[in-house]
Structures are given as structure tokens and as C-alpha cells.
Amino acid sequence: MSEKGKRTRQPNEASTIYLGSDGYWHGRVTVGVKDDGKPDRRHRMRKKRTDLVKAVRELERKRDEGNVPKVGQRVRVTDWLVHWLENIAEPNVSENTYSGYRVDVYTHLIPGLGAHWLDKLQPEHLERFYAKMQRNGSSAGTAHHAHRTIRVALNEAVRRRKITQNPALLAKAPRLTDEEVEPYDVDEIRRIMEEAGKRRNSARWAFALALGLRQGEVLGLKWSDINLAARSLRIRRSRLRPKYKHGCGGTCGRNPGYCPQKQQKNKATKDTKSAAGRRPIGLPAQLVELLRAHAATQERERKAAGGHWEEGGWVFTDEFGRPLNPNTDYREWKALLKAAGVRDARLHDARHTAATVLLLLDVTDRAAMAVMGWSSASMLKRYQHVIAPVREDIANRVDGFIWKPSEVAPEGDEAPAGEGPDRGN
């Protein structure tokens, strides 16, 4: 009897191989169960029997390893990224993390990689994409952030068996260089603080320059977090950037943030969850005095605002008691630097300044990490190239001040009268 069209009866769920009437060898492999409870049988077809046997064995191997993609319509990278972002990431990550993911997905990943079939995406596609991003002006840090985002998204695709392997794990990520630490010197700090004393919320900048608090940590402070008598505070939350939605139903024609009836759609703060971030900090005596003066000023503003004051217990507010907007705070920092006549810098450089001062004062590594909210000692290494030259300069200054060259007599010469070792001092 001819083998053509003949199938050998196999036990349930066993693989079958047969020669079809079309002249091709066919194989069927059970890899699991469909959503309706029926066996999930996959089909393979080859011209030669030996080639089909190899294909069937490979599918069986993937089945046994749990690496067979689920049945379903093939999707583009765009389709998966949008689904992952809106339905998987948004409900399960913090708002700041989601915002970063969203920028990566819609600004970089979809325009650059979205047309690929999800199951055909290769590490080389990702590597060429990262290089193109940087050629077009994106920093290595931005490209690296996009790499981390697609890696997370594709990990989820593997977990749900949309693909069998994550190409982002094989791709070479953009190389990052350590962020340059450029702290302000003492004279610059004094000029900034002197100028800050002429403005509202002047104590806010002391928190940045003296204690190194992050922007969100400072703006999220409430008076209940501070004990002036004990000269201490505790970090408990971080201020979030406000996100708005239309209050007019979209009829104003503007972006939600500029809608005359805009409504904030996210919370004002998020709780600090990490042990390193949720930390107590001691307050210098001068900062305590600044806070006392700030509290008195805020009380006068509360009385002046009357019924328009929105009491929330915030340490730093606008004229009506509302917490400061991070964007407004950033613009105030830039204006402060310009008015003080110091070089322009990021707000984060104030934090670098505080960390540098702590290390110059020989505060122990563990104590410095506690104040700064660092969870890893690797952060300390970034400051060594700044600390070492400053310490060397201090040593040279002391050396030149105490042992002046003109006072050291050449060997064999007599010391000048009145300056020898027996001058009676």
C-alpha cells in the first residue's frame, strides 16, 4: 500500500507524520490546549521526509521547553507596545515610570521599530535603531532608556508566549558614560543663598544645597514631617508632576494643561517605598532658623489669602497654600542662578553639591548614603574624581601656609636672627 495519504494511528496527543496527496510530507504536533479546551495541534510541511522529521522534532523540543508561541494573529511591534503600555504597564507601575515608558514608546520605539513583525524582531534591528537615535541627536542615556523600555515590554511578550525569545536581551545596549559631577564651590553657594533670601520659599534652596534632597522630596514635604525642636525631618513622599484632563470636554481646542477648566487627573504625591529613600535626616541649626522664619512668613500669607487659602500642610507652597508645581520650581531655580550671577546648571547639580560637601567633611560612607538616600555604594565612586583634587589642593595650601619656602634655611646655613628654634616661643 502506498504511503501517500496514509496516516498511522497514534496515541492521543502524539505527533503524526504522513505523506499528503499534494506530494508534501506533513506533520502535526500537539503543543498544548486552546482556550476552548481543544488540543492545540500545530502543522509543519516539507518536501522531504527527513526535513519534516527535523521540523517536527524541533517543534516538540520547543513544546517541552515551554517556548511555543500561542496561537493568534501575528502582530506588529507597534500593536504589542501600545497594548503593553496602556493595559499592562499603566495599571501596575508608578506614574513617573509610566510617563518615561510612554515617551519611549510613542516618541522613539514606534517610529523606529513599530513596522516590524513582533516575532521577526532581531537584536540587529535594535542595535541599528539605537545607533540611529544617537546619530539623530539623542543622547546615549536617552537611547539606553529606550532599550530598557523595550526590554521590559518584550519580556512580557515572552512570558505570555507571544514570542519565544527576547531580542533585547541579546542586543548590545547603548554605552553609557558616567554623568559628570559639577558641584558648586562655597562662594557660589553663598551667592545663590544670598539671592534666594530675597525670594519666596528661600529655605527651599537650602534643602537642595545643604542636604541634597531631590526636587520631589523637597516639594513633597509637609510640616508634620519636620520636628524643629529635635532638628530633624523624615522623607515620606515625593511630589509628582501634575497631569491634567479637559474640564470642558475638549471644546477649548487646547492641550489639557492649558484648558481654562483643566482638572488634575493624578495624585499630588506618591509615597516613598524604598528603605533608602524613606529616611530621617538631621537639620543644621541655621536651616532650622530658616524654617522658623519661613513658617512665620507662610502664616502671614495664610491670613492675607483668607478664604482662598487651600490648607494642605505643605512646607513650600504658592500664595494660596497649594503645593509648588515642579515646572514652576525648575524655572525659579534657573532664574535664581541668573540673578546670583553663577554658571547655569541643572537642579540636580545642587544635589551633587551637597554630596560633595558631605564627602569633603569626611562623613562616613554609610552616613552619606543615608542622607542622600542612596541604596548602592557605587554612587560614591562618581565623586572621587572631584574629591581627590580638592583634598590635594587643601593639603598644598596648608603646606604653603605653614612651611613657607623663605623660612626654610639651606642645610649648613644659620637661621636668621630671632627666627631660630631658641627664640623663646
Q: Is the dihedral of CA 228, 230, 232, 237 positive or negative?
A: negative
For residues 127 and 168, the answer to whether their CB atoms sit within 8 Å is no
Nearest alpha carbon to residue 349 among 192, 242, 175: 192
φ, ψ (nearest 5 deg) of residue 272:
-80, 120
DSSP three-state, residue 263 = strand
Separation CA 415–CA 418 (nearest Å): 8
Q: What percent of the chain is helix, strand and coil (3-state, nearest 5)?
A: 50, 10, 40
How many CA atoms lie less than 13 Å away from 272 in the CB half-sphere? 21
Nearest alpha carbon to residue 173 among 223, 126, 220, 209: 126
Q: State how beta strands 226-227 and 39-46 pair.
A: unpaired
Separation CA 243–CA 265 (nearest Å): 6
Separation CA 334–CA 342 (nearest Å): 10
**Residues tagged active-site:** 214, 245, 348, 351, 374, 383
Residue 153: count of CB within 10 angstroms of its CB: 23
Burial 50-82 (b: 16+ CB within 10 A, else e): eebbebbeebbebbeeeebbeeeeebbbbebbb
Q: Assign residue 201 a region: left if phi > 0, alpha if psi is -120 to 50, beta otherwise? A: left
DSSP three-state, residue 4 = strand
Residues 6 or more apart in contact with residue 272 via CB below 8 angstroms? 217, 235, 236, 237, 238, 278
CA-only gyration radius of the chain, Å? 33
